[in-house]
Amino acid sequence: MKNNKRRSAAAVESILDLIEMKFGVAKEIEKEVDFFHMSIFYVNVLQHFFYDAKPTKRGWKIIDDNIEYFIERDCNLVLMSDHGIARISAIFYVNKWLLEKGFLRIRSEAGGNLGISSFVESLRSAAGRLELIGILSKLMPESLKKRVAGPSLLDLVDWEKSLAIATGQGSIYLTVDEAHPDYEKNRNLVIDELRLLKNPISGNNVAKAVYRKEEIYHGDFLSLAPDIVFDQADDIYAVSALHPKSVFSPPKAWDAENIRNGIFLAYGEGILRGNKLRTISIVDIAPTILHWLGIPIPEDMDGEVILDIFSEDSHLRNRGIEYQKAINVIYKGYSMGYDEEMAQRLRGLGYLA
Give pLDDT tens digits for 54-69: 999 999 999 999 999 9
Task: Looking at the structure, tell me whether residues 319 and 304 fall in a common domain.
Answer: yes
Task: Looking at the structure, tell me whether residues 122 and 229 fall in a common domain.
Answer: yes
Q: Which of 204, 222, 254 is the last residue of a domain?
A: 254
Residue 163 has pLDDT above 70, yes or no: yes
Cα 277-278-279 angle, rounded to 5 deg: 115
Task: Looking at the structure, tell me whether residues 246 and 260 fall in a common domain.
Answer: no
Task: Looking at the structure, tell me whether residues 133 and 259 fall in a common domain.
Answer: no
Q: Which of 254, 282, 307 is the last residue of a domain?
A: 254
Task: Looking at the structure, tell me whether residues 110 and 203 fall in a common domain.
Answer: yes
The mean pLDDT value for 98-126 works out to 65
Do the strands 297-298 and 323-324 form a parallel or antiparallel pair, or are they unpaired? parallel
163 with 189: CB under 8 angstroms?
yes
As for how many domains the chain has, the answer is 3
Task: Looking at the structure, tell me whether residues 167 and 304 fall in a common domain.
Answer: no
Task: Looking at the structure, tell me whether residues 99 and 80 fall in a common domain.
Answer: no
Find the domain containing 211 and state its range. 90-254
Task: Looking at the structure, tell me whether residues 183 and 216 fall in a common domain.
Answer: yes
Q: How confident is the model at residue 109 (pLDDT cuts 50, 70, 90)?
A: low
The mean pLDDT value for 299-309 works out to 95
Claim: this prediction has a pTM higher than 0.85: no
Task: Looking at the structure, tell me whether residues 109 and 246 fall in a common domain.
Answer: yes
**CA quadruple 212, 218, 220, 224: dihedral sign:** negative
Q: Which of 254, 284, 307 is the last residue of a domain?
A: 254
Residues 6+ apart with CB under 8 A from 78: 264, 265, 266, 267, 285, 289
Do the strands 236-239 and 90-93 form a parallel or antiparallel pair, or are they unpaired? parallel
Task: Looking at the structure, tell me whether residues 25 and 95 fall in a common domain.
Answer: no
Across all residues in the chain, what is the average pLDDT? Answer: 84
Of residues 123 and 161, more confidently modeled: 161
Residues 6+ apart with CB under 8 A from 138: 14
Task: Looking at the structure, tell me whether residues 239 and 169 fall in a common domain.
Answer: yes
Over its C-alpha atoms, the chain yields an Rg (Å, rounded) of: 24
